[in-house]
């Protein structure tokens, strides 16, 4: 594969894959400089409740899964707090009592095509690097060897399963023969000789004979 062709294919696929790879969650959490991020104190759920009672919380956004929340304090700093989902109703009640506005934020769910797009881009990059290094013929030859080995392995596996199935059928037939021989040695009919019983044959009874038998 020429280098120009692989590069063109990678560039053409980049816009398609970027729509999946560059998906980001809604910007609920702002980006701070490293110095400010290091200075912001981390809160747990207990600290958050204390700050709510002390009226140091301006606004809260609770994610729909109840696992975390974005908290804006009265100093204008926003931090993410990890929550314990069963205790979320207690936190909501604290927000109601303190009069702190809050809302439920949707949880960002990435597209299921993201792994596929990532794998496609990485595969194209690897193929392009192999082509640049001049190893494409050796790579194709290696793929042929691996494919041949897999085909041979699949044939051996199919033969093994066939032999196992045939051996199991012979084992069942042998066991049935032993069972019949044992029954015949005991004087009982074998399973092949046993026939299902037919339907009952109705017997007509003469009314006069039945009446005489009752008188006796």
Structure confidence at residue 8 (pLDDT): 53
Contacts of 126 (CB under 8 A, 6+ apart): none
Structure confidence at residue 96 (pLDDT): 92
Task: Kindly report the pTM of this predicted structure.
Answer: 0.42
d(CA 82, CA 69): 7
Mean pLDDT by 10 residues, the chain (216 residues): 51 51 52 71 88 92 88 87 89 92 82 76 79 80 87 91 86 82 73 56 55 55
Listed by start position, the domains of the chain span 24-105
Where are any strands of DSSP class E within the chain? 57-63, 68-73, 78-82, 102-105
Is the distance from CB of 192 to CB of 180 less than 8 angstroms?
yes
Structure confidence at residue 95 (pLDDT): 92
Domain covering 24-105 in this structure, CATH number: 3.30.720.210
Structure confidence at residue 125 (pLDDT): 80
User: 170: how many CB neighbours lie within 10 A of its CB?
Assistant: 10
Structure confidence at residue 60 (pLDDT): 92
Structure confidence at residue 127 (pLDDT): 79
Q: DSSP letters along 24-72, please?
A: ---S-S----HHHHHHSPP--HHHHHHHHHTT-EEEEEEETTSSEEEEE
Distance of CA 125 to the CA centre of its chain: 28
d(CA 60, CA 100): 8
Structure confidence at residue 22 (pLDDT): 47
Please name the residue that has the structure tokens 């045939």. 166
Structure confidence at residue 56 (pLDDT): 92
CA angle 104, 106, 110 (to 5 degrees): 165
d(CA 28, CA 105): 8
d(CA 115, CA 103): 31
For 198, the 3-state DSSP assignment is coil
């Amino acid at each position: 594969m020429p280098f120009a062709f692989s590069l063109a294919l990678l560039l053409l696929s980049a816009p398609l894959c970027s729509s999946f790879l560059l998906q980001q969650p809604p910007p609920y959490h702002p980006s701070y400089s490293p110095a400010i991020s290091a200075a912001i104190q981390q809160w747990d759920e207990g600290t958050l409740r204390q700050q709510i009672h002390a009226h140091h919380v301006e606004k809260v956004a609770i994610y729909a899964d109840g696992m975390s929340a974005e908290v804006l304090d009265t100093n204008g700093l926003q931090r993410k707090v990890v929550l314990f989902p069963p205790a979320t109703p207690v936190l909501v009640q604290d927000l109601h009592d303190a009069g702190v506005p809050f809302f439920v934020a949707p949880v960002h769910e990435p597209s299921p095509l993201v792994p596929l797009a990532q794998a496609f881009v990485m595969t194209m990059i690897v193929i392009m690097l192999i082509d640049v290094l001049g190893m494409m013929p050796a790579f194709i030859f290696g793929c042929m060897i691996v494919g041949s080995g897999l085909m041979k392995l699949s044939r051996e596996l199919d033969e093994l399963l066939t032999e196992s199935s045939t051996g199991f059928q012979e084992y069942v037939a042998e066991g049935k023969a032993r069972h019949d021989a044992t029954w015949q040695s005991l004087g009982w009919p074998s399973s092949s000789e046993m026939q299902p019983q037919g339907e009952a044959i109705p017997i007509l009874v003469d009314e006069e004979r039945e009446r005489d038998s009752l008188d006796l």
